[in-house]
Amino acid sequence: MKLGLYGINLGACARPDVAARVAQACESLGFESLWTAEHVVLPDPQKPPSPVPPGTELLDPAVALAFVAALTERIRLATGIVILPQRNPVVLAKEFASLDRLSGGRLIFGVAAGYLEAEFRAIGAPFAERGARTDEYIDVIRELWTSEQPSFAGETIRFSGIQSRPLPVQRPCPPFVIGGQSDAALRRAQLRGDGWYGFALDPKATAAILERLRKAGAGIARERPPLELTITPPPGRFDAELVARYAELGVHRLVPIGLGRSADELVACAERYAEALRGSP
């Protein structure tokens, strides 16, 4: 089982001294990866399905990961997730290829379609088209990262006769991890993903959605290896027994949320997570 930490750009970790200490502590504790959250803006006042209060501090994922990349050597750097249809995929490909290059090939590129209509409205991105754009933008970024002579002709993005360098260090490209629990998201993962990411799922909910994920892949001839499965458990209990239950379900990576309002509290939290993993069968 791989172990990540969720929230390296969130809350207390929006402070550089805290993010630096937590990132370095996680690397020394043997964590495999650090994961960011993303919302460009949040509805004010908060109302469902907005996940956190509007005053929550959230650093841009690429900036936050570049910062901790410079302070670490081995730990992988993951977006959990980038809300892809809110971005220009050609610009985004450049940003994250740059991160992969500067980090020595440590990027895990998690993306999803998003769900906050108010956020899309503020950015000027069409909420109703988010699924189709997510699919197209994944294909755009993969083309830019893998092709010697990139070209693309889609519904919203078209180009040829261009280059976008540098290419990522990882070849053919960094892994695409697809987030989301809708039927469309699960099929997207099977069609376009190297991994799938589920957020705030206990073992029972994980088992149910993994069955749906399996059914979503029926009849799809994948060109890549089987999906790597990543889960963020709900906040609360995290011990060796819980880790073992996820492992029995076939989960490859757990990314519990970093809980704490200071560097000391977050490091202590990371130490508990690492101890739980060491104690699992």
For tokens 């200071």, the residue is 262
- pLDDT > 90 in the chain, percent: 97
Report the DSSP beta bridge partners of residue 195: 177, 228
Average pLDDT over residues 74-94: 98
Average pLDDT over residues 136-146: 98
More confident residue, 280 or 160: 160
Q: What pLDDT sits at residue 222?
A: 85
What is the SS3 assignment for 39? coil
Angle at 79 between CA 78 and CA 84, to 5 degrees: 145
Q: What pLDDT sits at residue 177?
A: 98
Does residue 224 register a pLDDT over 90? no
Give me the phi and psi of 38, to 5 degrees please. -150, 130
Average pLDDT over residues 249-277: 98
**Residue 216 CA, distance from chain mean position:** 21
Whole-angstrom distance between the N-terminal and C-terminal Cα of the chain?
Answer: 10
Q: What pLDDT sits at residue 112?
A: 98
Give the number of residues written for the chain. 281
Q: What pLDDT sits at residue 281?
A: 74
Superfamily grouping for domain 2-279: Luciferase-like domain (3.20.20.30)
Does residue 206 register a pLDDT over 90? yes
Angle at 195 between CA 156 and CA 105, to 5 degrees: 85
Question: Residue 177 belongs to what H/E stretch?
Answer: strand 176-179
Q: What pLDDT sits at residue 126?
A: 98
- Structure tokens belonging to residue 131: 């699924």
- Write down the mean pLDDT value for the chain: 97
Q: What pLDDT sits at residue 280?
A: 82
Does residue 122 register a pLDDT over 80? yes
Average pLDDT over residues 214-227: 91
Question: Residue 210 belongs to what H/E stretch?
Answer: helix 203-216
Average pLDDT over residues 114-126: 97
At 221, the pLDDT band (50, 70, 90 cuts) reads confident
